[in-house]
Amino acid sequence: KVLDASTLSFGTRVRWFAICFVAGILCSFLGTALLWLPKGIKLFAVFYTLGNIAALASTCFLMGPVKQLKAMFDPKRLIATIVMLLCLILTLCAVFWWNKKGLAMLFCILQFLAMTWYSLSYIPFAR
């Protein structure tokens, strides 16, 4: 039931999934490259976070947004989802409001680990 609640064709959904996923990866790599600039920590945090959001949003094209949200907040992956979303928000807070570079870097690492944990929650027995 990939096409539930959508007017998009399967081919269009797969194309947009690929576009968002690749854009997410490119944003993450661009953020990493920008890390070495003088004020690069802010750019890194923003691009890395945008990359993770784009990669997460890419699955909305395959599943549909409502089904994606239901799956994200399913009891078996609720903690992984909350930790992942919290890390995304805390990364941006650390870099823009608190101006703590070390904390932003820590939250980016936690963001990576949280996204990995969240992704593994979709694979049976992987966690």
- Cβ-based burial of 121 (10 A; exposed 0-12, middle 13-18, buried ≥19): buried
> Can you give the pLDDT at residue 4?
53
Element (H, E) at 15: helix 10-34
What pTM does this model have? 0.78
Q: Phi/psi at 49 (nearest 5 deg)?
A: -65, -45
Mean pLDDT of 88-93: 91
Percentage above 90 pLDDT, the chain: 20
What average pLDDT does this structure show over 32-50?
A: 87
Number of neighbours of residue 34 by Cβ within 10 angstroms: 18
- 100 Rama sector, left if φ>0, alpha if ψ -120 to 50, beta otherwise: beta
